[in-house]
Structure 1
Amino acid sequence: MEGDFKGKLFAVKTAIGRERETAELVYNQNDYRNLSLKSIVVSPETEGYIYVEADDVTDVLRATKNVRLARKVLKNPASKEDVDNIMNPRPLVTKMSHDTPVLITGGDFKGEEGRIENIVRAEGKVTVKIDAAVIPLSVTVDIDQVKLI
């Protein structure tokens, strides 16, 4: 990976959930303005951000100038460990452990917060103890239906 990465990676703050659309608009600006952006990265690890590879931040600023969804360009390039985390994200399962706080994002208990009681990695399921329940309530959901808080 180090051999492929020649420029600097700059973070661009975007509207959450519209990262892919923002990346396409920035790419179109790159072509329209004849800029020298090398690549645009949309990572599932970082909601609300896209990453643009360029030699200088001025090209990124020019590419995002007329893009309404691009909120802000961070002037300092991403560090080497940030780039490694963006390009090689850890699976969500490895970040979870017993008693980790999570938000349920799908199913009947969508929007409820709780703590992990059990993880069945082979089946891709987690058991979550709901915090706001009057009586102790545990539910089992798919791993992709929980988000770390």
Structure 2
Amino acid sequence: MKKQSKIYAIKTTIGQEKQVLEVFEQRVKAKGEPYKSAIKAAIWIKDVKGYIFVEAEDPTLIDELLQGIRHSRGRVLGFIDPSEMDKYLVAKPVIESLKTGDLVEIIGGPFKSMKGRVVAIDRQKSEVTLELLESVSPFPITIYAEYLRKIEGGV
């Protein structure tokens, strides 16, 4: 009978989450069974500093794999409810984080790689009006919000 897998948090040095995750994954592959079948997934969420998350059937296997990994600070006691992680795993639309005055970079379409300042936002149509910073005379253009990446907040 297989155990139910649960999500466990592993504490790491802030800024070293990716390195710890890579070494952890290498060890799972190198050790083979029963580690490969017991460790279901391992992820690093950029918004959660100092932690990586591992889905596994047995937490003691995680502890064994963590021994000697530089920058790992051990497993947090208990397990994480998957519903707590949903807010980090579901991508929110770019338009939700934008406001008037924000500096943005265009990442798609004919104006790709140009920068602009947000002038107006139409949340119903998911469109943003901005003034291009690199143009000689600032004229407003309207562009689909998913073509934008926020660089910094506005005034």
Q: TM-score, normalised by structure 1?
A: 0.56
Name the counterpart of 1:112.
114
Q: How far did residue 30 of structure 1 move?
A: 8.2
Between the aligned residues of both structures, percent identity stands at 17
Name the counterpart of 2:124.
122
Q: In structure 2, the residue corresponding to 1:132 is in which secondary structure?
A: coil
2: CA distance, partners of 1:137 / 1:145: 18
Q: In structure 1, the residue corresponding to 2:124 is in which secondary structure?
A: coil
Q: In structure 1, the residue corresponding to 2:101 is in which secondary structure?
A: coil
Q: Which has the larger radius of gyration?
A: 2
Q: How far did residue 131 of structure 1 move?
A: 1.0
After superposition, residues 62-77 of structure 1 pair within 5 angstroms as 75=72
May I ask how many residue pairs the two structures share in their alignment? 121
2: CA distance, partners of 1:30 / 1:12: 20
Q: How far did residue 74 of structure 1 move?
A: 6.1
Q: How far did residue 40 of structure 1 move?
A: 3.5
Q: How far did residue 95 of structure 1 move?
A: 0.9
Name the counterpart of 1:87.
89
2: CA distance, partners of 1:95 / 1:57: 38
2: CA distance, partners of 1:32 / 1:143: 45
Of residues 107-116 and 31-40 in structure 1, the stretch that sits farther from structure 2 once superposed is 31-40
After superposition, residues 1-149 of structure 1 pair within 5 angstroms as 6-8=7-9, 12-13=17-18, 29=29, 32=32, 34-35=34-35, 36-41=38-43, 52-53=53-54, 55=59, 56=62, 59=65, 75=72, 83=85, 85-149=87-151
2: CA distance, partners of 1:107 / 1:34: 48
Q: Please tell me whether the aligned partners of residues 9 and 83 of structure 1 are also in contact (alpha carbons under 8 angstroms).
A: no
Q: Please tell me whether the aligned partners of residues 37 and 60 of structure 1 are also in contact (alpha carbons under 8 angstroms).
A: no
Q: In structure 2, the residue corresponding to 1:13 is in which secondary structure?
A: helix
Letter of the 2:147 partner, please give it.
Q
Letter of the 1:129 partner, please give it.
E
2: CA distance, partners of 1:61 / 1:144: 43
Q: Note the residue ranges of structure 2 that are not aligned, 5 or more in a row.
A: none
Letter of the 2:65 partner, please give it.
D
Structure 1 residues 108 and 89: CA distance shift in structure 2, 3 A:
closer
Q: How far did residue 13 of structure 1 move?
A: 2.9
